[in-house]
Amino acid sequence: MNYNQILVEIYQEISLYAGVGEPATYIPELCKVDPDSYGICLRTMRGTEYFMGDSDVRFSIQSISKVFSMAMGFSFEGEKLWRRIGVEPSGSAFNSIIQLEIEKGIPRNPLINAGALVMTDVLLSHLENPEEEYLEFVRRLSGTTDIQYNERIAASEREHGYLNAAIANMLKYYGNIKNDIERVLMFYFRQCSIMMSCRELSRAFVPFADHSHAFRFGNVSLTSSQVKRMNAIMQTCGFYDEAGEFSFLVGLPGKSGVGGGIAAICPRKYAVAVWSPRLNKKGNSVMGMKALELLTTKTEVSIF
Ligand code: GLN
């Protein structure tokens, strides 16, 4: 497969969408990036990397971190995790609170905010030094030693995070958060603030694409069946109320974030990460979605 050529063609074709959408404004610090940045990196199972544009520029991974949190939580709790968090697509916005009341404090899945807040609570109950151990896991996954939280972005989100605070309070009311709410929120915002480049993200997602190998990174280990389940959750829930659309147009398990990043995997073939900060109304990167749609169209390979 001539991935280099395909990445060039994709870049030419998505330029039609340049300037469409807006970066996330509800986290003021996130708007301090060049909205017209674009980077992509595809890493095959053999370790060959194909990249273009701003593929080495670090950006705030935001909700892509929910995949890392899910891997840790699933490793620590096993099946009993699913008593506190469901595995159904929500069909609602990432920060919706309505469903949570109707369903009595059990979030639909781990990849919406409510689910990630419960997962963060699970991690706090298991980890001695949560922030350090979380970072250590992400560093091991991506084979990088200097990945960091962006404290300015985390603080900016805390300052404006009224909705996430409301969700956390409701979870606490229903008994689905055990730790202090403020502690949960701050750890959650730090996870979202992690800065990674497309090259680092594509490396970090390779282990999810390859469940024939043992998934073992420090104190986090998953069986191949657990990795397969995480893929299923990414496929059905990774894009909130656009998960169906992403399945329809792209056909890969993946996860987006309001920083404009998307990471996706083609099982047993490659992991890919794309970044472009302008978002559509659902909070997903306009050019990122289009680039991945073109990737699976041009390669004629998806999970379907
Ligand atoms: N930190 C963001 C929030 O909680 C993450 C949302 C996202 O990337 N979709 O609102």
Phi, psi of 275, deg, nearest 5? -140, 130
- Place 44 in a pLDDT band, splitting at 50, 70 and 90: very high
Locate tokens 């409510």: which residue? Answer: 114
Cβ(285) to ligand 1 under 6 A? Answer: no
Q: So what's the pLDDT on residue 91?
A: 86
Cβ(120) to ligand 1 under 6 A? Answer: no
Percent of the chain scoring above 90 in pLDDT: 93
Distance 47 CA to ligand 1 centre (A): 30
Cβ(236) to ligand 1 under 6 A? Answer: no
Q: Which tens digit of pLDDT belongs to each residue from 225-249?
A: 999 999 999 999 999 889 999 999 9
Cβ(231) to ligand 1 under 6 A? Answer: no
Cβ(193) to ligand 1 under 6 A? Answer: no
DSSP readout, 30-92? GGGS-TT--EEEEEETT--EEEEESTT--EE-GGGHHHHHHHHHHHHHGGGGGGTS--S---S
Distance 209 CA to ligand 1 centre (A): 24
Mean predicted confidence (pLDDT) in 206-212? 89
Q: So what's the pLDDT on residue 1?
A: 84
**Using CA atoms, how far apart are residues 146 and 136, in angstroms rounded to an integer?**
10
Locate tokens 């999810």: which residue? Answer: 208
Closest atom of ligand 1 to CA, residue 192: 1
Q: Which tens digit of pLDDT belongs to each residue from 282-294?
A: 999 999 999 999 9
CATH of domain 66-193: 3.40.710.10
Cβ(52) to ligand 1 under 6 A? Answer: no
Domain with CATH 3.40.710.10 in the chain: 3-62+195-299, 66-193
Percent of the chain scoring above 70 in pLDDT: 100
Kindly give the residue spans of alpha helices, DSSP state H, lying in 49-91: 65-77
Distance 298 CA to ligand 1 centre (A): 31
The segment with the largest mean pLDDT, out of 17-26, 66-75, 238-247, is 66-75
Looking at the domain 3-62+195-299, which fold is it? Beta-lactamase (3.40.710)
Is a pLDDT exceeding 80 seen at residue 212? no
**Using CA atoms, how far apart are residues 170 and 177, in angstroms rounded to an integer?**
9
Protein residue with least CA distance to atom 4, ligand 1: 113
